[in-house]
Structure formats: structure tokens, C-alpha cells
Amino acid sequence: MPSLHEPKLISGNANLKLSSAVAKRMSIHRGTPVKLVSARVERFNDQEIFVEIHENVRGEDMFIIQSTSRPANDNLMELLIIADTLRRSSAGRITAVIPYFGYARQDRRSKARTPISAKLVANMVAQSGIERVLTMDLHAAQIQGFFDMPVDNLYASPIFALDVKHHFRDCMDEVMVISPDVGGVARARELAKRIDAPLAIVDKRREKAGEVAEMTVIGDVTGKRCIIVDDICDTAGTLVKAAEVLIDKGAAEVHAYITHGVMSGPAVERISNSVMKTLVLSDTIAPTPEVLAAPNIRIVPTAPIFAQAILNIWGGTSVSSLFDHETLEPLYETAYS
């Protein structure tokens, strides 16, 4: 049943630009101004986080926009403290919009005596008063089951499909989608299906965490414009090595589409010096000045899909409808017209 109250947005400090863009898009969709709730989210001298909301939120349908990206712990605590502030201020419903869900790579025990931190974070989110989560491209789909609440997991593949069809419109028959590992085949297959392209796999074997010992290409990439698709780019070591292997196997050129640009340490330098022609990132994580200055890195917006998803949640309508090309394309028509 649609809410009697207007949807209200509040933002942490992780990605204020995205939050403002979501508010702007919601204003366009609704034809009435939507602004971020006036609040103070700051730190004391000892780095304790303090939140003060300057508007009445009693009974309101509240949406907190906050990625738990670097610094992950600070941004996670901001999210939890904002939620607690809203709960104690009698907000009607609290939804956490987490474009990038940190700790998602710790979704299982990889070896003895290790944590399942994604489950711990899910418990903390629930205890803070949050009643629903909206996110994008969870690293592991089973994380949705860690929450005893509704979790809407949006996908970047429909956005990437629109971008690929626009930028490769004159050579779509030469495009091949590449999964950078066996575990990412489902994600790569989804994009390949949307753009009607063949699929190949780079099979990697690790000697230890963070180091790839060997890569093998499964499939013929000769003369193809290869598009590597993945959910996270951290230090970019694996991505750059995969691009080199593809070129060695006869690929004409290599591009990459990554949902979450963590871009730690030497990532930007590696990408800038790599054989990849372009790396396309979404803005679920606020790009650093170095990322924005890199000549072969491009950013695609997620505000249109998040804005519509928030409106659908508020209005009690389908979020999964945004997975369809026909539904999503009008939201991005200005970007690809």
C-alpha cells in the first residue's frame, strides 16, 4: 500500500554527490522538489561520529543513502548511527540504500578460524532499526539471506548493456563478453545475453590471496573486442593481467565494465599503464580525483536506477521491473540519446 508520507532522503558522507544526484532524479521523476534532509554528520576530535537531524521525521518514510566503502568502518558506523537517530526520532520506516555493500567478500569461512563478517554486518544493520535494504551487485547473492528483512539487489548489467550498445553500436558483431574467473560466469552471461554477444572465461589459479599464478582463456577471442565484466575492482592486478592474457591470445582490444570501483593502492596507475582501452565504473563508490583524471577510466551514473527504485519501494510497486531493458532505457535516455 502506498505511503501517505513523502519519501525523505538523508545522506552519510560516503558519496554525497550520488545522494544529491538521486534526489535530483527523484525530483525529475515526480515533478516536485526532493531534497536531502538537513542533518549534521560529523566527528568529534577523537573521531567519534555524531549525528543531528534538523528536520521533523516523525512517521516519515526515510531512506539513508550510504555506501560502506573506504573508510569502510567509518562509513558503516555512520550508517548505523544515522539509523539509530532516525529510530529514536520516531521515523515511520527506515530503508538503507547501500550502493556498495562493504564486507561482502567475507561471505563464508574461507579457511579455519575466520569470520563471516558479512553476516555480522547484516546483524548490526538489523539491530540499528533499519527495516529494508536496497543495494547493487552484491558480491555473493546469498548475502540477501543473511538479512531477516527485505533486501532488493539491483543489477548493473542492464546499465552496462545500454552503455555497450551505445559505444560499440558500429561493431557489436565483434564484441565478446569475458568473465575474469569461473565464479563470475553468471554475471558475465547476464550481460552477454542482454547484448547478444558470445562469452569466454579467464580461468585463474591463485598461489595465495592477492596473487595470480596462472591464467588460461577458455574460448576463442581472436580478433574480438573483449569486454571483461566484474563486480569489484580493488587493486586491479587481476584485471590488468587478464587484459594482457586476452591480447596475447589475439584479442583486438580489451575493455572492462566494473560495478564497484574500490581502486585501492596502485589500481589507477596499473589501469593507466595497461593494455586496456577503457575501464568503465559505476559511481556506487565516489570516484577519487585520481580516478576522474585517468584518461582511460569512465564513470556511468547509477542515480537514475536508484531514484526509481526508491520511488517504487515508497509507492509499493515492483523493484524487479527495473531489471528489464524496456523499463530502464527511458531512465537513461538523456545519457544515450
Return binding residues for D-ribose 5-phosphate: 206, 230, 234-238
CA distances to 43, 55, 100, 222, 295 from 290, rounded to whole Å, are 26, 36, 20, 33, 10
Strand pairing partners for 226? 176, 254
Sign (positive or negative) of CA dihedral 179, 183, 184, 185:
positive
CA distances to 1, 14, 83, 122, 150 from 129, rounded to whole Å, are 21, 20, 6, 12, 13
Q: Are strands 132-136 and 151-154 parallel, antiparallel or unpaired?
A: parallel
Residue 191's nearest CA partner among 235, 224, 200 is: 200
- Output the CA angle 251-237-228, nearest 5 degrees: 40
Q: How far is CA 218 from the centre of its chain?
A: 27
Residues 6+ apart with CB under 8 A from 73: none
Other beta carbons less than 10 A from residue 219's beta carbon:
16
Question: 2 preceded by cis ω (within 30°)?
Answer: no
* Active-site entry in 119, 204, 241, 249: 204
204 flagged as catalytic: yes
Q: Check residue 62 and report its DSSP letter.
A: E
Determine the number of helices (DSSP H) and then strands (DSSP E) in the chain: 10, 14
Residues with catalytic roles = 204
